[in-house]
Structure 1
């Protein structure tokens, strides 16, 4: 059964986010402090696992998604070295950028994209947006109250404010927020990486938690960059799609 055409929201969720979360839980374990006790080459096991899974996904998705995955990986390489190595926004266990991280960004991107585009999920879009917004506000508030996570809370409010004017992308980005929370909680608890007690370890007025609640705000740069490059490479196709949307909107009105 096709994920996008599935009439069951449970099936669509399992085939996209469910499998992604399971892989994050098991894949990051291979770079965790638990696995380091077994072998000093733990990170290479995580690299190999990521390479296998991303390769399988890459060959299963259509051409357009392949291009988006490649773009996401390239942007993630630049972003990871900029934010982690140059700016010190967060630090990986071995003070490097693990090879599994950039393709991991592409995997997260494509899983969230397919979830938000599934027909069974689109039918529940409004309800899901309300539900996810409530969950996000509760999550960020708890981190603010019990972890003094001012940095994460500010990013969360900024994210929700921006999404007010993004109705078509709202479900995708709300889902991305939750997915990044799952990713960050797993990664930081496994000690694969850590965040400093203040933003960038520089701004005292922005105390942070490990991980900050709203850090998915920076993942949006990856998503926007991937989409922007795709538009630039396929200007005619993108213009045609916008015209179709305009005609459908006029017909519905």
Structure 2
């Protein structure tokens, strides 16, 4: 649980420092988050190391595409902060720890609890993109192996998104480029992107390394 507490502290404090200390805050957070990631990576089993590096690579590519190319959201300095990709990997480690201890009912409770809010927001036109993301989430829950992880990450990602957008670290566009869909700041089902990240990592490194990644935080 020490690692889990360290990850939560690093994410919450790091986003706050990045926003409050506008001049040099991002440099400080970059250094600390990368240091945590490298230290934990160095201490892990080789299979876990491969999975975490794959997670880092896909997170980097995803951030560049989603933010700089697609324009779904924009960071405070109109860049992709260097702490973001390893931060994704750290959040994923936290999700693995929580999923390993979560009850089985979370698999159906999270989608069921989110459904009325997603449908209502889409019906009134406030977050039609959220409905699309929710469908991606349901597909991952139906066909993916790590169902508890998907449910946990759906909640964790939403919590982080609410915190980060509230601080002003990044802002989601009100209209989704290319698709003409509306979205909130943040979209309710933003956690679907983490489900896709998991599927990509699993497809790249195989089931054994994927299993190691989910238990890296133990």
Could you tell me the TM-score, scaled by structure 2's length?
A: 0.83
Offset from partner CA, 1:139-195 (integer Å, 9 cap, x none)? 5357557881121133113322442344x3211111111111011111111111111
Q: CA RMSD in A?
A: 2.7
Is contact 2:73-2:170 (8 Å) kept?
yes
How far off is 1:16 after superposition?
A: 6.5
Q: Which residue of 2 aligns with 1:47?
A: 30
Is contact 1:197-1:210 (8 Å) kept?
yes
Change (3 A) 1:208 1:220: same
Q: How far apart are the structure 1 equivalents of 2:147 and 2:36?
A: 28
Q: Does 1:213 align with 2:196?
A: no
Is contact 1:150-1:208 (8 Å) kept?
yes
Report the 3-state secondary structure (helix = DSSP H, G, I; strand = E; otherwise coil) of the residue aligned with 2:80: coil
- Runs of 4 or more above 3 Å deviation: 14-22, 138-147
Change (3 A) 1:162 1:51: closer
Q: Does 1:35 align with 2:21?
A: yes
1:107-146 matched pairs, under 5 angstroms: 107-116=90-99, 118=100, 120-121=101-102, 124-125=103-104, 127-137=105-115, 140=118, 144=122
Determine which structure has more spread, i.e. the larger CA radius of gyration: 1
Number of residues of Structure 1 aligned to a counterpart in Structure 2? 210
Runs of at least 5 residues in structure 1 that lack an aligned partner in the other structure = 1-13, 242-253
1:72-221 matched pairs, under 5 angstroms: 72-116=55-99, 118=100, 120-121=101-102, 124-125=103-104, 127-137=105-115, 140=118, 144=122, 148-166=126-144, 168-200=145-177, 202-204=178-180, 206-221=181-196
Could you tell me the TM-score, scaled by structure 1's length?
A: 0.72
Q: 2:8 aligns with which of 21, 35, 42?
A: 21
Runs of at least 5 residues in structure 2 that lack an aligned partner in the other structure = 212-218
